């Protein structure tokens, strides 16, 4: 069954907008798990505009499911991940000022760089995933780094879904098949929501995990957090 990892960055964004500790990201992490999430995802950035490095340290002992830390593998990020030892680390090629992740790795150009980092994390028993687009070259070279999984960047699917769902998902099916044939696991994330998630999952039923934050937290404002999580879980059933 495909797992749902809830990204709680947007809860931290709301907290940081006012200062103080409301809403409490630690309580959010606990509740997301109680409400059915299969994991918690955080993406600390250098400016700490949402999840802070200290949040990551405080969240780790509260995780009873799986903990996924996303981010660009800077020296500070690598040190944090090795200290926390999450279940999974997802490496993204974000520049320091990125509003959100908007591209996958060029794994051919960065193969040596990524291979060294993947090896360092795997030695510590941390599952690795590389954020990639559907370009076969990037998936094939991702597999050569020794990574356990790739995470498909699904914004192109989401943006094309309402125009032509079959056409939008086709390159992702092909990419998923390349990953499977290469012997690596498959995750997906970015702009998946209640409108497009079920079709994506039905098209690629062997996907192991989806990471969803912005859409789910936004839906929770109207539906409630527990109801939103359960509605997303039903799309993956």
Does residue 70 have an active-site annotation?
yes
Q: Please state, in angstroms and as integers, the Cα–Cα distance from residue 100 to each residue in 17, 54, 121, 174, 236, following that order.
A: 17, 20, 24, 25, 24
**CB-based burial label for 202 (10 Å; 0-12, 13-18, 19+):** exposed
Is 190 a residue of the active site? yes
Does 140 participate in catalysis according to the annotation? no
Would you say 122 and 156 are in contact if contact means Cβ atoms under 8 Å apart?
A: no
**DSSP track, 42-111:** E---TT-SSS-HHHHHHHGGG-SS-EEEEE---HHHHHHHHHH--SEEEE----TT-SS------TTTTH
Could you say which of 66, 190, 201, 209 is catalytic? 190
Are 117 and 167 in contact, with CB atoms under 8 Å apart? no
Selected catalytic residue, list 66, 70, 151, 209:
70
Going by C-alpha positions, the residue among 104, 107, 199 that lies closest to residue 151 is 104
Terminal C-alpha separation, the chain: 7
Q: Active-site residue numbers?
A: 43, 70, 190
């Amino acid at each position: 069954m495909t797992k749902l990892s809830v990204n709680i960055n947007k809860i931290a964004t709301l907290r940081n907008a006012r200062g103080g500790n409301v809403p409490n990201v630690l309580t959010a992490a606990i509740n997301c798990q109680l409400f059915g999430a299969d994991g918690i995802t955080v993406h600390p950035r250098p400016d700490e505009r949402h999840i802070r490095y200290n949040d990551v340290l405080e969240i780790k002992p509260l995780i009873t499911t799986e903990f996924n830390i996303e981010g660009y593998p800077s020296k500070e990020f690598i040190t944090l991940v090795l200290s926390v030892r999450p279940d999974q680390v997802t490496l993204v090629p974000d520049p320091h000022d990125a509003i959100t992740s908007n591209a996958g790795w060029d794994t051919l150009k960065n193969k040596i760089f990524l291979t060294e980092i993947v090896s360092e994390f795997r030695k510590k028993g941390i599952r690795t995933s590389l954020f990639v687009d559907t370009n076969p070259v990037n998936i094939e070279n991702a597999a050569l780094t020794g990574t356990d999984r790739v995470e498909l960047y699904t914004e192109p699917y989401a943006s094309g879904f309402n125009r032509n769902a079959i056409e939008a998902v086709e390159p992702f099916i092909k990419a998923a098949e390349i990953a499977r044939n290469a012997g690596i696991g498959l995750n997906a994330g970015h702009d998946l929501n209640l409108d497009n998630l079920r079709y994506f999952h039905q098209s690629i039923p062997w996907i192991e995990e989806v990471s969803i934050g912005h859409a789910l937290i936004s839906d929770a404002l109207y539906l409630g957090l527990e109801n939103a999580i359960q509605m997303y879980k039903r799309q993956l059933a």
